[in-house]
Amino acid sequence: MNNKEIIELSQKHVLETYKRAPVAFIKGEGAKLWDADGKEYLDFVSGLAVCNLGHCHKKVVEALKAQSETLIHTSNLYYIANSAELASLLCQYSFGERVFFCNSGSEANEAAIKLARKYFSSRGEKRNEIVSMEKSFHGRTMAAMAATGQVKIQEGFEPLLQKFVYVPFNDLEAAKAAVNKNTAAFMIEPVQGEGGVNVPTIEYMQGLRKLCDEKGILLIIDEVQTGMGRTGKLFGYEHYNIKPDIMTLAKGLAGGVAIGAMVTTNNIAQSFGPGSHGSTFGGNPLATSAASAALRAIIDEGVVENAEKIGVYLMTKLNELKSQFPFINEVRGKGLICALGLDFEGAEIVGKCLEKGLIINCTNNTVLRFLPPLIIGEKEVDSMISTLKTVLKEVKG
């Protein structure tokens, strides 16, 4: 099928829960995609920070092929070798000691919220309130949506799950004021992705960790978008010299295969016993084999270091654009999650870039977001900047 045929079939039968661009991609390699009409694109979205190793990384493909010929699925009623191996790797490279596997970021955050509440209830404490940040995004399931600090995500789904409080991001005094005897946890992204690529200060994150320690509150760090090297560290929390009590992962964890994970300590994990939580497909042999291969590639192939290096280069080039166009009001980011803040809505920019074979994203209406594969080099950044500059001139003269 060509683009037109795929679009028509989708519009006829697929629920329209996304505002889709008029293109259907059918092939990917590295930082490139091809649509059903054969047109080539440079990808600076990476499936929304999923394809951190680029499209169809050789080691992930090999792992999937080998595992699909051996065992695709069993059940968590039994032990799963690949799941155990991946959990061990995640604990080796993070603060964690225990891992729960699921299928998405929303599910991982649901698990984190449940664990935080169960931790206190198992100790006989009636703490059940979660404090999250304005402009945060934690998912679209009922608890994850309730934790999300964006009204537009929640509208029409009321009544929301109770006991969620929202405070301004990067405001330690507001966080302190929100604490009461029922506070169980703070939930925060180390860089807000969907909220506009907002980066907190080191002092704020360290202050939040200290506040949690002083008040006996858990710190949940949502690394769904920032984890697996995206920020120039394997995990975003490492930039702030702190450790969370609970961390959630998904997106880039398995190189494009659906998986989610919640990582925590032995002490906190004890609150979850058999029957406390579960996931039929969570930790299945196929997804965890891909994730182990992806994690090893990220560690062994210098991917994190490249994200840090090229992230600096990309930020430099974005700042050069800012100096040339007065309607760009801010450049922000960390590693290879970067953004241009505009003084107008950016949807037209995204559409015109797509026409020219460049894939970028607009979030929070006026923020152009760049989430390229972590394997990109300066040449690809230069190509992206050249196309974007041309489009900005076309749109705003």
pLDDT tens digits for 86-144?
999 999 999 999 999 999 999 999 999 999 999 999 999 999 999 999 999 999 999 99
pLDDT value of position 183:
98
Per-residue pLDDT tens for 173-189?
999 999 999 999 999 99
Catalytic site residue 251? yes
pLDDT value of position 396:
82
Instruction: Print the domain residue range for 340.
Output: 3-57+302-396
* Confidence class for position 265, pLDDT limits 50, 70, 90: very high
Identity of the residue numbered 64: L
Active-site annotation holder among 251, 317, 334, 370:
251
Are 16 and 37 contained in the same domain?
Answer: yes
Are 380 and 281 contained in the same domain?
Answer: no
Alpha-carbon distance values, 90 to 98, 187, 244, 296 (Å): 9, 20, 14, 10
What is the C-alpha separation between 353 and 2, in angstroms, rounded?
21
Structure tokens that stand for 353 in this block: 């870039």
Alpha-carbon distance values, 69 to 65, 79, 286 (Å): 7, 19, 10
Are 129 and 40 contained in the same domain?
Answer: no
Kindly report the number of other CB atoms within 10 A of residue 145's CB atom: 21
Catalytic site residue 343? no
Last residue of a domain, one of 300, 329, 352: 300
For range 367-387, the mean pLDDT: 98
Q: Would you say 250 and 224 are in contact if contact means Cβ atoms under 8 Å apart?
A: yes
**Over 80: is that where the pLDDT of 51 sits?**
yes
Nearest-5° angle of CA 95, CA 50, CA 41? 150
Closest CA to 110 of 191, 211, 187, 218: 187
Q: Would you say 223 and 236 are in contact if contact means Cβ atoms under 8 Å apart?
A: yes
Residue 36 belongs to a domain with what CATH number?
3.90.1150.10
Alpha-carbon distance values, 391 to 108, 345, 352 (Å): 38, 14, 7
Residue 191 belongs to a domain with what CATH number?
3.40.640.10
Helix (H, G, I), strand (E, B) or coil at 26: strand
Are 258 and 392 contained in the same domain?
Answer: no
* Confidence class for position 230, pLDDT limits 50, 70, 90: very high
**Over 90: is that where the pLDDT of 397 sits?**
no
Active-site annotation holder among 44, 100, 120, 137:
137
Active-site annotation holder among 222, 233, 235, 370:
222
Whole-prediction pTM value?
A: 0.97
Catalytic site residue 101? no
Are 259 and 277 contained in the same domain?
Answer: yes
Say whether the peptide bond before residue 372 is cis (omega within 30 degrees of 0). Answer: no
What is the C-alpha separation between 264 and 251, in angstroms, rounded?
18
For range 272-285, the mean pLDDT: 96
Mean pLDDT, the chain, rounded, equals 97
